[in-house]
Structures are given as structure tokens and as C-alpha cells.
Structure 1
Amino acid sequence: MMLASIFRSLSWRHLWRWGLLALVVGLSIILMGHWAERRELQIKTEALQQVAQANALGIRGIAEKHGYLPYAAARHPDVQSLLLNPSDSLLSKKVNQYFSDLKDRTESAALFVMSSNGMTLAASNWNSTDSFVGQSYQQRPYFKEALQGRRGFFYGVGLTTGTPGFFIAEPVLNQSQVIGVIAVKVSLSALENSWVNSADPVVLQDNRGIVFLSSEPEWLYRSSDHLSSGDLAWLKLNGQYGMRSHYDILPWRVTRVPGSPTYEFQATVKHKQRSFLALEASLPELAWTLTVTSDLKSVQRARQEALALTTLLAAVLLLAGLYWRLHEQRFVEQLQAKRELEQRVKERTYDLEEAHAFRKAMEDALLVGMRARDPEGRIIYVNRAFCEMVGYSAEELLGCKAPYPYWHPDDLDKYMRQREASLQAESLPHGFESRVRHHDGHDVITQVYTAPLIDRQGRQQGWMSSVVDITAQKIAENRQHEQERQLQRSARLASVGEMASTLAHELNQPLMALSNFAVAARAIAGQAKRELLVTVLEDIVEQSQRASEIVKRVRVFINPQRGSYEDCDVHAVIAHSLTLLKPELQRNLTIVNTQLTENLPHIRGNRVLLEQVLINLLQNAMQATQDLPPARHVIDIETTLLERAILIQIGDRGPGVPEASQEQVFNPFFSTKPDGLGLGLNICRTIVEAHGGHLKVANRKDGGAVFSFTLAFSV
């Protein structure tokens, strides 16, 4: 009942202010959801970059681990002698045994040597049924590259065994002449098996975009794009992936954003439709591309939580303002409820920022302090950075057992628990935060990472800890949090003050009109003037209907979801906006020139919101010329039919917008007016984009600015 009485008392003349307030609330909700979504995407992107780096290091490690084998074997005297004397059976037997022993020690799949014509002379699998000996591999790309004096890399299906593998080839030189080629075959099945157990898919593609390793078997030997006839001919000639004659396209529905290191795609994984965020990492030395992914469910959940939280906050703020205006005696109670809600929001925001800051600190911090302890916990090594951090010399620390002199007196129990966990191999790999007491008495906040200290025989000799001073970072975080809290509080107070002043102005005129009509009706009733009484009563009914329309509009402003989209005539929307602004246009002696294209198609949109955009832009144009001579009090409105949209331009003859500020004017809280909130143009852009259009500003050659936006028309 209270809200209904408030809405009935609003005036049509100031309805746009309520619209602006509702749009501010709606924009805040949208921005918060967008911020939460972008923040979660940023976290996932950083995590994907770490995963990609770790997998890339693993792949490079495999290449580096086995890359030395052909290089070393190529310099073995027996290998070179066999290439110079290929018919020597004794040399062939010695090299076969040498390759077999070397293969067992290095865990490679196979090792073999070929003459300059590609014929295999010796191999580690010489005594197996699928031996490489006697086989020719001169058509293989890795053989051709090594024969030209370069190291060759190649992944493909073996011509003899039919099993895929990674081939590394090295030329065998004799007096700077290539006399043969040595190659090692490495199986990547262990790497692929580790990916299968991953929660999110991982794939590896060659330089043609063909997936040759994947955690999802159904993606194997599929291509990210159609292959040319030349590529298909090359693949068939070299038998890289067996006898396949075609390669299907990956079943991914990819969405890319220009300038972003990541992209999104949808795919069916284990019979379920899922959405992923993907990051590609190039391995140029191998001509491969590694793609790591992460599920997007958490991004959608973060956006939904932010939208729900912001909507709740906006609703509480609006109700608090209404209650403050009409029920001052309950203001304290409502204010307390609002503060409690703000406290919960602040705590939630603080937890999220704290978790993100802690994670960022672990990733970016430089570990400078080093401390080693023996199995009994006695300090056996400290570096200079650690000594400077705690204020004690190495002589004072070496040989010390717990409790250590730099332990904070208030945290002794905590230190003992951490020490026991560390000595029992329970320390977490990401470390823990610890407060220590410097020798001069001040506190130092540190981050500690502990790992086992292993000797050459593989025996544990103690523990090595890396300690990072994060005191300055903690102080900076606290200062930033305090500044953000003050900024949020100022914004909330400004919104409440604006709402209160608007209510005071809007409610007065309709209430006074209804009161005057009622007094007049009572006086006329006593004079028995029936016709005049009917006229006054009709005026009262008209005012009531007017209040009812105001209620409908305000409900749309308060909750934009209640607004409906309908077919709209753009020229009718422009005409109604000019009618609403007619008193202001006349008061400012402003002339409106229109150049409207005839027979424009209807657009699908919300008439109230579109009128609000036009009213806002027209008022900005009037304000731009109000201090100029009357001859420049002119506004030009033009409509143009484009291919799939209608272009609307509103130009003035004012001073224009500086180029440096042409993009900033659409940012929230940016205003060139002394008393402006800086939200009008930002809200206008949001409404236009919600209708599938785009709002921009430019300066006119003859002076002034022109704001233009597009609206997609219905088909």
C-alpha cells in the first residue's frame, strides 16, 4: 500500500528522472555480473597459462631427454665404421647390441642407423619379428632433414610396426660429410595416458592442425580446418598417420574474441555437451600446437552469483530510500539492516579479493630467503637474504633447534604444529603464511615453502625452505581495500541523496493538484452546480489515471525485466520524445531540424527505454548550446535506412567533444558537468546495445558534436 501511494503521486513531467535511476540500478547489476564473469575468466586464463607451461615443459623435456641419444650414438666409432663398411656382419652385431643396451637404459622405443640411401643397417630391435634392419626409410621427412645435415623431428605411425611414435634423427658425419642417419623413436603413450586422467581435455596438433595426441580418443586424427589437396597428398606419400585418406573436422563450435589469448568452444565429451575455455601454446621447435582447456561452469556460476547479489543490494537500497522519505521514524532500523547487508557484501568481496591476492602472490613472488634443516629440525644452512629478513647472523642461527629465535612469541603453538607437519612430510606444496619477529622487534610477514632435501643416493637428508617477505604487499592490499570501501560508500550515499531529492520534488505537484480539485468539488457540491461539479470530478479522474500510468512506468524502471519489447515506429518514438521535451525546447529557444527517411521498417524494442535514450541525447544537445548565441541553439535529427538496421543521428552546434574524451564520455561516473553523475551516456549505450545496436560520438566539421546509434529492425 505504501509503495502504491508513492507511485500514484509521481508526475509525468519528471518521469525521465525515475527512468534514469532505474537504468542506473540495471546498469550496476549488469556491470557487476560482467565484472564477475571477466574476473573468473582472468583467473581461468592464468591457470590455463600455468597448465600450458607445465605441459609444454614436459613435452620439451621428452624431446631434450631423448634428443642426445642420436647425437651421442652418431659419434660412436663402431657406428661410423658400420656406415663405412655396411657388409661387415661383426660390426653390425656389435652396433645392434650397443643400440639394444642404449635403448634399455634410456627407455626409448627404438634406436636405429640408416645408410645414406635410407636402408637400416642396425637397430635396437634387430632380433624381433618387426625389426627395422633391412627396411628402407628414405621417404621419411626426418631422414631427409638429417641427410641435409640438420636434426629432424617427426611424429607419425611406424611403417614397420604400425605404432605411432616421436622420431628424432641426427646426421652421422665423417670429415664433414653425411655418411648416414641415426634415429630414435620415442613413445608418447605415457604422456597421453596422463592426459586421459585429466578433468579437462588436452590435445596436441601438428603444423597442419591434425590432432595426433588427445585425452579424448574421438578427437584423434581430426583436423581443425579442411586440408588442402597438397597436404593430403603429402600425408599419404609419407604415411604419417597410416593409410588414412581423409581427416574429419574437429566437432568443436568455436567462439573467438579478437585480442584475447583464449577462445571458447562447445563439444560433446563422454556423451555430455560441455563448454570450455581453451588456450593454445605453440612449440615452434617441434612445429606443434598444445591446446589446454578448462570447464566454463564456474564462470557462469560466478556471473549468476554476482547478478543475484547486486540485484538484492539494489532492491534494499531502493526500499531504504522510500522508507526514509515516508517513515522517518523507521529510518534507523532500515539503515541498520542496510549496513548489515553491506557488511556481508563487503566480507564476501574481501574474501574473493584476498583469495585472488594470495594466489597471485604465490605465483609472482620471488623466493629469496633459503633455510635448510636436518631431520631433527636443526638449522644447517641459511643464506644472506634469510639473515637480513630475520635480523640474525648466520652464526647465531646455525645449529639452532626449535624454538628458533625469530619465532613470534604470540604464535609459538602454531609454529610447533607447522614444524611437526613439515618434519613428517605433511607440508603443502603451496606453502603457508607465517609471522616472524625481527631481531630489532618489528614484525615481518612471510610466505614459506618447504620441500624434502634429497642427496645423490636418493636419501632424505632434511628439509629446504624458501621464505618470501610479503609485508609490503600486505600493507598495500589493506590500503587498497580501505580505498575501495570508501569509494563504494560514497557512491551509495550519492544514490540515496539523489533518490530522496527526486521523491520530494515529484510527489508534491500531483498531490497538490488532487487536493485542490477535491476542495473545489466540496465547495461546488454545496452550491448545487451539477455541471461544474462533474467537470471537477472528471479532472480528478484524469489525475488518477495519470498517476496510474506513472505507476506502470516506474515499475518498468524499478525492474527492467517487467518491460516488454514490441514493434516500434522509430519516427513515432522521436515525435513523442520531442513532445515530452517541448516545454524545455521552447524555454531554451531551441530549433529542431528533422530529416527523416520515409517508410522505415519497424524495430523490435522497448518504447520507454528508447524514448529515454532520445530524451537524454536531446537534453545533452540543449545543454551544449545553452551558453552560446541563440543562432546556434539548433538540433539536427536524421534517420537513415541501412542494410539491416536504422541509423539515428542527433547533432548539435556546440563546442563538440574533445577527441581524448570521446570514449571516456561513455564510462560510468565520467562527466564534464559540475553537477553531473556521469551515468546518462553510459546508460544510453547499454540500452542501445541491448537492442542490438551501437552508440558512438564524433565531431562535426562545421562545429558541434553528433551522437549516432543503430537499431536492428524486425523482419
Structure 2
Amino acid sequence: MTLGWHVPMAPVWRRLPRPVRTLALWSGALLVAAVGAGSAAVWSERSSIDGLRSTGEHRLALYVNNLQSAIQRHDYLPFVLSMNADIRELLRQPGDHALTDRVNRYLATVTREAQSATLFVMDAAGLTLAASNWDTPQSFVDSNYGFRPYFRQAATLGRGSFYAVGVTTGTPGHFLSHAVYDGGRIVGVVAVKVSLDGLEEAWRFGAERVLVTDDAGVVFLSSEPAWRFSTLGAPSPADARRMDETRQYAGIELTPLPVLERRDVDGAAVLTIEDPQGQGATGYLAQAVPIPELGWHVLVLSDTAPVRAAVRAAASVAVFAAVFLLLVVLYLRQRRRRIREGLLAREALERANTELRRARDEQEIRIAERTADLRSANDRLMREVAERERAERVLREAQDELVQAGKLATLGQMAAGITHELNQPLAAIRTFADNAVVLAERGLHDDLRDNLQRIGQLVARMARITGQLKAFARKTKARAEPIPVARAVQNALILIEQRLRLEKVELDCTLPDGEVDVVFEEVRLEQVLINLYRNALDAMRGSPVRRLEVVIEDTGERVLIRVRDSGPGIPDDVKPRIFEAFFTTKDAGGLGLGLPISAGIVRDAGGQLTAANRDGGGAEFVVDLARAGVQKDAA
């Protein structure tokens, strides 16, 4: 038998000196924080790049659509003019001065109506016989453009297009051409020069940088003026020779785009480009899409500053998480003390519960007394509610009449704009009809069929314009049903399209990706939107910059329609009375009923109409409505 004592060995951790344990604890925490911050930064960068790429693809599609629409607006002009009898006669008799003068003036008139840059007619050798700028110092008349690709394409293929800097004017533009046939052979070419400077001006308001390049990598359109006529890489010898022969960029020095760094992040190209003002450099996510029929590429550069901010935020969160874990360890060390304090708190809680039960018994007695008072008050309230409902019915009937009166007043103001909108297709129909007679006499049945089809298309367009106006004027009962918000917004824009064009107002309409419905009566919603559009146009009448923005936001439960202008904003003394009936700030012609009626219509549909000033200047009106699906589920 052995006598002795069993002495347990203390854990190795406890046998270390306290400063060593503290140093090891903090070193481990720093290591965990560093690893977590690095992993979080990599994940955050990839996730943010994916989000930025998705947004860029949507914006890229909008920019491509704007570019194609700007060109297609004038695509029909060369073909239509190639059918003109005077132009054909001029190509037969180029020395007839009276005929030349008549064609020059006709081209000038068409240029003003179509809002194109220049129209001109060339003979089979490329010599310009007539032009819309015949009476200017930069006249195209007697200039030979046979070396230009758009002429050679039209002379061989029947039509052509080419972007270049004008050798006569020195201004860039996109040329569209079409051959003139006489007896089955090409006797000349009609061309139109289209200016795309308006697109660049509009693109400068976007958050991204937009570039358009040709096949040689030359940037000929850019939202950043300093990058225009720069190159994404050195042009090949064949491209350089072709540009010299066609004088595409004559007199302009092509310089490389100042790209400092190129890198790939999860399949996405990120470029670091020197700022045009020389104030450092900026990182951009580069996304491009080709336009095969033009041989162009549209490039969108999205600033990666949000990505860098997200990376910093993710790294910070990872560090805070590591610190939090350390605090948890410290908390566990104090757990024993807190348990002891909890026992004391439990005793105090039991005493408080006893007092609470006593107070609750007293409260029940007072509640019984108060309930009797509430019953009598409720009876009075029910009677008042019945009276209010009767008054609301009368008010709603009066509002319906005011709504119809407002619609008819709006129609009267739009009459001049609609007349101008119909005059353009009527003029085109007359031209096609005159050409049809000539084609019928000459037995050109294929060309005659094309003419008649174009007349039918123009008539259909006029029917859509008058049909939309008829639908807006119809007096209807308020019948709420699910309707697409985007359709109502676009229908209302159609009715003010002519005024936008006449007043040179830039329109920026942002629609949701999918279909978003609200429960509303469609014609009433269109009237509310038209009233907001017209107020915005009136507010911008004296502004140097006229920009109308319409944005639809889908938050999941609510749908917000934002109407923004670049006017002077709402004065502080007007804000409290802006939705007050018969209050107006317009000098003449305003009754002060538009906004009160619109607010009432939105309120009856369960929504809200609000107004506020924007930080950057201008006013913003917001129509807040419940999403159709959310309303149905809630019911």
C-alpha cells in the first residue's frame, strides 16, 4: 500500500504567463481578421462586378437602341428622294439651271422638315449637281465625292452608309445613300448627312462613359469630348491605308486612348484610364456590343468606384466579425459573474411581478369603465361615417366631371401639336402618291407596289395617333383593374411628343425590366401623368437646360412613378399650397385644378401624389401606388 497525494497537472495554457497568453490571443485574432478580410474582399469584388455588369448590359442595350433610332429616322429619305421626278430629270439634263434651282430649294425644304444635316444629289461619276446647302459658303455643289464608300456602295449595291468627317465642312456625320434608277440602270445617287452630335450631348448626362468605334478601333462618338477621335489600339496598315484613301478622318490627329492598366476580374475587363483633366486615373468596367450592319461597336465604361467601396466595406465587416468573436471569448470568461448577478435580478423581477399583478387588477376595473364610454362614442362615430360616405359619393361624382373637363381642356391644347404630327405623314403620302402615278405610267410595278405599301404604313401611323387621342377623350366610368404601368407612361408620352420636339426637351424614360401592374383606371392614370408632364414642361420654359425624366421604380410592394424636371424648382412659399384647389402660379390660362384633381384621383386608387425639390435643381413629383399582385394577396 502506497500513501501519497494525487496532484492534477494544470493545463499548459494556464501555466503560461499572463502577458504571453494575452499576446497569443491578440495575435490569433489579428490572423483570423486578416484571412477573413482577404476572403471577404475577393468575394465582394466578384459579386459587385457581376452587379455592375448586369446594370451595364441593360444600359448598353438602351444606348444601342438610341443610336439605331437616330439613324433610322433618316434612313427612308434617300429612297424617297430617289423617286422624285425632278431629281431624275436633273440627272438627265444636268445643265438645266432652272431645274437645278428648283431641286436645290426642294432639298432645302425637305432638310428643314426632316431635321437632317444636308441632302445632296450626285451624278453617276460622283459630281454633286444639287444640295440643300447650295446657298452657303460650304456648299456641296460641284464637289466630287466619288471616292467616298457611301457613293461606291450605292453605285454598285443600290444603297450605302459611311461615317466620316466632311471634306467640305470639316464636321463629322453619318452619310446614308440610295441609287437613282432610270430604265433599270443607275444614273445617280441621293445622299443625306445625319449629325449625331445630339446623341453625344444626351449621353453626357449618364453615369457611364459611352464610346462608339469603327472596325479600325477609332472612337468617333464619345460622351467624353476629350476621348473623341482616339484609338483603342494602333490601326493596322490596311485600315490606315483605307482611311487615307477615303479621307474618313481628314485633318484630325488620331491619338491612343490613355489606358494605364488592363486586367481581368472573373471574366470581366477592367480598364484604368487617365482622367481627361489630368487629375489621376479612374477604373472602369468595359462592356461592348457590335452593330454588324454598320460595322460599329458600342462600348460602355462603368466607374468601378462602387466596387472598391464594397470591397472596403466587406473587409471592414470581416475585421469587425473577428473582433466580435474575441469579445465573445471575453464574455464567456465573465459568464460566471453574470449568472450570479442574474439570480439577484430574478428575485427583483419576482417582486416587480407581484406589483404588476396588483396594478393589472386595478387597470381591468378602469378598462371596464372606459369600454362603456367607447361604445357610446363608437355609435356616434358610425353615424358620422355614414354621413361622410354620402358626402364622398357626391364629391366623387363631381370629381369625375372635373376629370372629363380637364381631359377636354388638355385635348384642346394638344390640337396644334397633333395637327403638326399628322402633317408630316400627310406630306409623305402626297409624295408617294405623286411617285405612284409616275411609276404606274412607266410600268414599274415593283416600285409602285413598294410605294403603295409605304402609304399604307403611314396611314396606319396616323390611325395610331388619332386612336390614342380618341381613347384619351372618351368619358369612362372609374373602373379599377390591373394595368401595366409602363403602357400608361408611354401612352401619355405619345400625347406630348410633339411638344417635346418643338421645345427641344430631352426625354429620359427608365422602365422596369419586367411587366409591373397596378390596380387603376388606365385613362385616369394617363391624365394624371399628362398633367404632371405638362406642368414640368411649363416649369422648364425659361431654363437653359430642358430635361424631362420619367422613372418607374418597383420596390416589391409599391410602384413609384417619378416625374422630374430641370426647372427652377418649387418656391418655399408655394409648397404648402401646391395641392390647393384654384391656387396657381401661371400668369394666364391656369385654373389651379390640375394638381388637386390628380391628387384626388391617385388618392381614390389607394395611392399618394407628393412633390419635392431635387438636390441638383428642379422639381420631382412622385405617384406612389400599390403593386397589383400585393393588393390581391392582401385581400
What interval of TM-score do these two structures reach, taking the shorter chain for normalisation?
0.5 to 0.7
Instruction: Determine the C-alpha separation between the residues in 2 that align with 1:229 and 1:109.
Output: 32
Partner of residue 274, structure 2: 267
- Match for 2:551: what amino acid? H
Mark the CA change 1:329 to 1:94 in structure 2 (over 3 Å): closer, same or farther.
same
Partner of residue 320, structure 1: 328
Mark the CA change 1:189 to 1:451 in structure 2 (over 3 Å): closer, same or farther.
closer
| Cα-Cα RMSD | 4.4
Deviation of 1:293 (Å): 2.0
Instruction: Determine the C-alpha separation between the residues in 2 that align with 1:5 and 1:473.
Output: 63
Mark the CA change 1:434 to 1:162 in structure 2 (over 3 Å): closer, same or farther.
closer
> Cα deviations across residues 249-304 of structure 1 (Å, max 9, x unaligned)?
21112424277355332322322122222222322222112222222222111211
> Cα deviations across residues 434-469 of structure 1 (Å, max 9, x unaligned)?
99xxxxxxxxx45364889xxxxxxx9989999854
3-state secondary structure, aligned to 1:272: coil
Larger Rg: 1
Where does the alignment leave 5 or more consecutive residues of structure 1 unmatched?
A: 335-372, 388-404, 408-418, 436-444, 453-459, 476-715
Instruction: Determine the C-alpha separation between the residues in 2 that align with 1:250 and 1:406.
Output: 51
Q: Does residue 171 in structure 1 map to residue 179 in structure 2?
A: yes
Instruction: Determine the C-alpha separation between the residues in 1 that align with 2:626 and 2:156.
Output: 51
3-state secondary structure, aligned to 1:307: helix
- Aligned pairs for 1:38-117 (under 5 A) are 38-117=46-125
Mark the CA change 1:82 to 1:196 in structure 2 (over 3 Å): closer, same or farther.
same
Whether the aligned pair in 1 keeps the contact of 2:120 and 2:190 (CA below 8 Å) is yes
Whether the aligned pair in 2 keeps the contact of 1:45 and 1:262 (CA below 8 Å) is no
- Match for 2:67: what amino acid? I
3-state secondary structure, aligned to 2:294: coil
Deviation of 1:100 (Å): 0.6
Mark the CA change 1:237 to 1:431 in structure 2 (over 3 Å): closer, same or farther.
closer
Partner of residue 497, structure 2: none
Deviation of 1:172 (Å): 1.5
Partner of residue 430, structure 1: 551
3-state secondary structure, aligned to 1:60: helix
- Match for 1:429: what amino acid? V
> Cα deviations across residues 507-554 of structure 1 (Å, max 9, x unaligned)?
xxxxxxxxxxxxxxxxxxxxxxxxxxxxxxxxxxxxxxxxxxxxxxxx
Instruction: Determine the C-alpha separation between the residues in 1 that align with 2:29 and 2:51.
Output: 33
Instruction: Determine the C-alpha separation between the residues in 1 that align with 2:69 and 2:227.
Output: 25
- Aligned pairs for 1:111-150 (under 5 A) are 111-150=119-158
Instruction: Determine the C-alpha separation between the residues in 2 that align with 1:331 and 1:285.
Output: 78
TM-score, normalized by length of structure 1? 0.47
- Aligned pairs for 1:60-459 (under 5 A) are 60-198=68-206, 200-244=208-252, 247-257=254-264, 260=267, 262-273=269-280, 274-325=282-333, 327-330=335-338, 385-386=482-483, 429-431=550-552, 445=557, 447=559, 449=561
3-state secondary structure, aligned to 1:66: coil
Instruction: Determine the C-alpha separation between the residues in 1 that align with 2:563 and 2:203.
Output: 26
> Cα deviations across residues 603-645 of structure 1 (Å, max 9, x unaligned)?
xxxxxxxxxxxxxxxxxxxxxxxxxxxxxxxxxxxxxxxxxxx
Mark the CA change 1:225 to 1:73 in structure 2 (over 3 Å): closer, same or farther.
same
- Match for 1:193: what amino acid? E
Instruction: Determine the C-alpha separation between the residues in 2 that align with 1:382 and 1:260.
Output: 51
Mark the CA change 1:450 to 1:327 in structure 2 (over 3 Å): closer, same or farther.
closer
- Aligned pairs for 1:284-683 (under 5 A) are 284-325=292-333, 327-330=335-338, 385-386=482-483, 429-431=550-552, 445=557, 447=559, 449=561, 469-471=628-630
Mark the CA change 1:154 to 1:317 in structure 2 (over 3 Å): closer, same or farther.
same
Instruction: Determine the C-alpha separation between the residues in 2 that align with 1:199 and 1:243.
Output: 32
3-state secondary structure, aligned to 2:231: coil
3-state secondary structure, aligned to 2:136: coil
Instruction: Determine the C-alpha separation between the residues in 2 that align with 1:332 and 1:32.
Output: 39
Instruction: Determine the C-alpha separation between the residues in 2 that align with 1:154 and 1:332.
Output: 87
3-state secondary structure, aligned to 1:117: coil
Whether the aligned pair in 2 keeps the contact of 1:446 and 1:470 (CA below 8 Å) is no
Instruction: Determine the C-alpha separation between the residues in 1 that align with 2:230 and 2:104.
Output: 38
Instruction: Determine the C-alpha separation between the residues in 2 that align with 1:433 and 1:60.
Output: 28
Instruction: Determine the C-alpha separation between the residues in 2 that align with 1:193 and 1:450.
Output: 23
Mark the CA change 1:146 to 1:446 in structure 2 (over 3 Å): closer, same or farther.
same
Deviation of 1:178 (Å): 1.9
Which has the higher relative contact order, 1 or 2, with Cα contacts under 8 A spaced 6 or more apart?
Answer: 1
Mark the CA change 1:229 to 1:406 in structure 2 (over 3 Å): closer, same or farther.
closer
Whether the aligned pair in 1 keeps the contact of 2:32 and 2:322 (CA below 8 Å) is no
3-state secondary structure, aligned to 2:256: coil
3-state secondary structure, aligned to 1:429: strand
- Match for 1:249: what amino acid? P
Mark the CA change 1:213 to 1:6 in structure 2 (over 3 Å): closer, same or farther.
farther
Instruction: Determine the C-alpha separation between the residues in 2 that align with 1:296 and 1:129.
Output: 47
- Match for 2:262: what amino acid? T
Instruction: Determine the C-alpha separation between the residues in 1 that align with 2:48 and 2:124.
Output: 56
Deviation of 1:209 (Å): 0.3
Instruction: Determine the C-alpha separation between the residues in 2 that align with 1:176 and 1:6.
Output: 104
Deviation of 1:375 (Å): 7.5
3-state secondary structure, aligned to 2:232: coil
Instruction: Determine the C-alpha separation between the residues in 2 that align with 1:119 and 1:130.
Output: 15
Whether the aligned pair in 2 keeps the contact of 1:211 and 1:219 (CA below 8 Å) is yes
Whether the aligned pair in 2 keeps the contact of 1:422 and 1:450 (CA below 8 Å) is no
3-state secondary structure, aligned to 1:289: strand
- Match for 1:78: what amino acid? D
Mark the CA change 1:286 to 1:467 in structure 2 (over 3 Å): closer, same or farther.
farther
Instruction: Determine the C-alpha separation between the residues in 1 that align with 2:482 and 2:257.
Output: 52
- Match for 2:141: what amino acid? V
- Match for 1:137: what amino acid? Y
- Match for 1:221: what amino acid? F
Instruction: Determine the C-alpha separation between the residues in 2 that align with 1:197 and 1:7.
Output: 68
- Match for 1:266: what amino acid? I
Deviation of 1:243 (Å): 3.7
